[in-house]
Chains A and B, each alone.
Chain A
Amino acid sequence: MADPLLLAAYILIFPGFLFLFAYSMVFEFLDRRIVARMQNRVGPPFFQPFADIVKTLGKEVIDPEGVDRPIFDAAPIVALAAVMTAFLYVPVIGASPLAFQGDLVLVLYLLTLPTLALMLLGWLSRNIYAAVGGVRAVTMLFIYEVPFFLALVMPTLMAGTWSVSEIMAWQKEHLWLAVLQPIAFVIALIGLQAKLERTPFDIPEAETEIVAGPWTELTGRRLALMHLANQSAAVAGSALIAAVFLGGPALPWASGSAVLDAIAGFLLFLAKTLAILLILATVRGATARIRLDQLNVIGWKYITTAALAQVAIVLVMNAWEVGA
């Protein structure tokens, strides 16, 4: 795609930023609807997430006394910008036009920024609940990032490339990496649930313990942008896992035209990300929140050990050229 106009349309409209925002709201609606139906309730109507964002954008921004206003304003914007940039490198209708070797590392790094922004907001809020929440967010980051990164780097060992789009392409001729590396797939899903700070890992935002954690002093447009960043991270994370483990938006066979490829790829993308959403929503509904010290034990004892075991298995499989 050398045409700059087409590239601009890809980045800004579809499947770039505008699509990301729209799809993140659909994601949030489906997540809340599915969990509500599982709880025997009705759930919000379709436009609820959109209405929430629009309403919150219009509300008054309240600055607590003595708070560092420029950073308070900038942190949600940085978080949103990081997620938006990360989404550009994830395949949506086919390989990403901006793909390069190492963009997997870039995407993983960019997806960490919202948590750091949250920690900064918590620390600077001059509010004891926010400070505790911010500290919890970073502590949780230490615990889940190691297995999450390991799980997402396993595919590179097998596919022999550091680009998300090429890992996706590798799965066209071979089996899905979710089948070849099931432990890594499960750990990636757990890591995604922790990254999005959803139950059972919603420790930083534990409503009944520390009010709203780092979100306590966010109001108005800051809250709207941070919320949008959180939801977009859900989309970006699901799209990443769909591309790396579930084969992404690629038909296993080559059809005739490029347009048909793109449409079929897009439909596959929707199906796979929604499947991941179903799993995440079910886990959210079926569990209670665990404590941070308990997560510490579980994260290091079980999840990281499993990830390391998976590394060993992958190295052995590579040596015996299984799945090649």
Chain B
Amino acid sequence: MTRVVVPIGPQHPALKEPVNFRVIADGERIVELELNLSYSHRGIEKAAEQRDFIRALPLIERVCGICSHSHTTAFSKGIEEIMGVEVPPRAQYIRTIIAELERMHSHLLWLGVAAHEVGFNTLFMWTWRDREAIQDTLEEMTGNRVHYIMNEVGGVRLDLSPLQVEAALVRLPVLEERIRAYVEMVEAEETMLTRFRGVGCLSRDEALCFGAVGPTARASGVDYDVRRDDPYLAYAEIPWNVVTDTNGDVYGRTRVRIGELGESLAMVRYCLEHLPDGPIRVSVPKTAPPGEILSRYEAPRGELVHFIRTNGTDRVERIDIRTPTLANWTSVAHCLIGRPLADVPVIVAAIDPCLSCTSRITVSNRGEDAASGTPPRTGWEG
């Protein structure tokens, strides 16, 4: 049979951000797959080297829109650890509240997008309608629906007034009810289940071999969550559970994410009710002592890693961000081989891809090419 090249991306209705799959299909079956990332490379890591810590935070935040708080928190806590600064407990709790609210709105967004990818627009509309409650809460607390800039090195920028706490607590029971309804719907909606079950299967060994992180890995039975295994913020003090599943397919990932929605809601409620008093920030020195640190954070999509090297000035010397989506792309490429073309949006959406997070490095071989006379080649490494 003839093989056809079907380009999925970089512009495609299935993809919210640019990525390119060069799919070689035999009829409807995918035979080969080539992955091209880095269409959203913006040079943020380089730009962060030229800004001091205060000005670098809004920049780091804009690595991603949905997981913006993840990046600033990972960066701030890394710098704080290098400086040896202890953040007051009230600030830790506020950071946790924003982090879990961000996880909730990210998972609800994902549920809607996954439903949209299989043509189930009704669930898409409903989940995004319920997500508005979380966005309103975040807007009341921080001033914006995304890009909260709540963090600064040493604590948080704003305090939560009792009115804001009350308004947030009032919205939670309705959300709890809706999440319960979605759990029921996902288990019962037959047409969606036939698209999700058995699709994108990743065994536990494969997940570990390909380095999958986050809900993608937890759905395959990998019991790893940075919040429990390397605790930060207030996670060591709050009662919560890690959600895992053994299905390993898109259905399993759906169950993990909905389970995490419920857990996050309980965490937000606990933190709001048990908010400790005290200052919201400490004063920090202007410069950081030289050092290297690996700051890990459980973003909504998985384990986020910031490597920061400081050299005694008020700027970072090098920051390297390894986002969870970058770790998950290999498993997508592996899962897609042999599946029908119709499964491409489902499997891609199942890892909750955030392309703005993904592209970090560009490798350019200008030197040796100049010597051999060939034009300079720029390889994009995600």
Chain A residues engaging chain B, CB cutoff 8 angstroms: 35, 38-41, 128-129, 131-132, 199-200, 202-203, 206-211, 285-294
Contacts and interface: CB of A to CB of B under 8 A. Distances in A.
B116 to A, nearest CB: 7
A209 B342 contact: yes
Interface of B is mostly: helix
A160 to B, nearest CB: 39
B141 to A, nearest CB: 26
Contact of B120 (A132, A209, A288): A288
A35 B191 CA distance: 18
A41 B125 contact: yes
Contacts of A35: 122
A290 B13 CA distance: 18
A132 B345 contact: no
B344 A209 contact: yes
For chain B, the bracket of interface size reads 20 to 34
Interface stretch (B4-12, B35-43, B51-59): B4-12
B14 interface: yes
Interface of B: 4-7, 12-14, 28, 115-122, 125-126, 129, 189, 191-192, 194-195, 340-345
B13 A208 contact: yes
Nearest to B129: A40
Contacts of B129: 40
B14 A208 contact: yes
A207 B340 CA distance: 16
B194 A208 contact: no
Nearest to A212: B13
Contacts of A211: 12-13
A290 B340 contact: no
Nearest to B348: A208
B119 A40 contact: no
A294 B194 contact: yes
A34 to B, nearest CB: 12
A291 B120 contact: no
Nearest to B196: A288
B14 A288 contact: no
Contacts of B121: 39, 285
A101 to B, nearest CB: 40
A288 B118 contact: yes
Q: Most chain-A Cβ atoms within 10 A of its Cβ — which of B119, B121, B194, B343?
A: B119
A207 B15 CA distance: 11
Q: Most chain-B Cβ atoms within 10 A of its Cβ — which of A38, A128, A288, A290?
A: A288
Contacts of A291: 194-195, 340, 342-343
A210 B25 CA distance: 13
Contacts of A288: 115, 118-120, 189, 191-192, 195
B118 A128 contact: no
A62 to B, nearest CB: 17
B120 A287 contact: yes
A221 to B, nearest CB: 24
